[in-house]
Amino acid sequence: MVSSILFINTVHYIYGNGTTLNRKIEFVQIENSQDLRARISIIGGKQIADIPADQIKVEMQSATDLLNRYVSLRQNPQNVPKPKLKRILSSFTSQEQVNIALSINPDPQTEGGRWIELKNNPIGTNGNETILKLKIIDPR
């Protein structure tokens, strides 16, 4: 029996030295699953990674808030509230996971929305990179 797949959002990015979008990340939800997955593939080619929600980090603080916290910490270390921490995507409800995936900017050449941060090993299998980490960040 084949499970149905619900496509939530697709994000394109450039891998390597080129200037053309050549990779995509599809955030999907498999039927009968509460959690999303990130499927990374070569555009027009094969899938190179399938990352479950329990391996995707979500940065809960924007870059601006983080910078403001560091400035405040230098000025008055005793009066700075604890930061919002990184969370694992699977720790959110199913609807919250969908909302986070939908908040990701699908085009890296435009501003707004959350961004994806990938860490990979360029020496992967079959001539393709190996994805080591995926993090959803808020660059604002």
Q: pLDDT digits over 84-138, tens only?
A: 667 899 999 999 999 999 999 877 667 778 889 899 888 877 778 889 999 998 7
**Among residues 56, 46, 8, 54, which one has the least CA distance to residue 30?**
8
Strands 130-137 and 56-58: parallel
| More confident site: 111 or 68 | 68
- Tokens 């020496």, residue located: 123
Instruction: Report how many domains make up the chain.
Output: 1
> Which residues constitute the domain of residue 70?
5-137
pLDDT of residue 56: 96
CA–CA gap between residue 75 and residue 79 (Å, rounded):
9
CA–CA gap between residue 126 and residue 60 (Å, rounded):
35
pLDDT of residue 83: 66
pLDDT band at residue 49 under the 50/70/90 scheme: very high
pLDDT of residue 38: 97
CA–CA gap between residue 20 and residue 11 (Å, rounded):
14
Query: What's the predicted TM-score (pTM) here?
Result: 0.82
Over residues 57-75, the mean pLDDT reads 83
**Among residues 33, 31, 35, which one has the least CA distance to residue 52?**
35
- Tokens 């924007």, residue located: 62
The two three-digit tokens of residue 50, written as one number: 């399938």
| More confident site: 58 or 77 | 58
| More confident site: 18 or 83 | 18
pLDDT averaged over every residue in the chain: 87
Over residues 58-82, the mean pLDDT reads 80
**Which residues touch 61 (CB under 8 Å, ≥6 apart)?**
69, 83, 84, 138
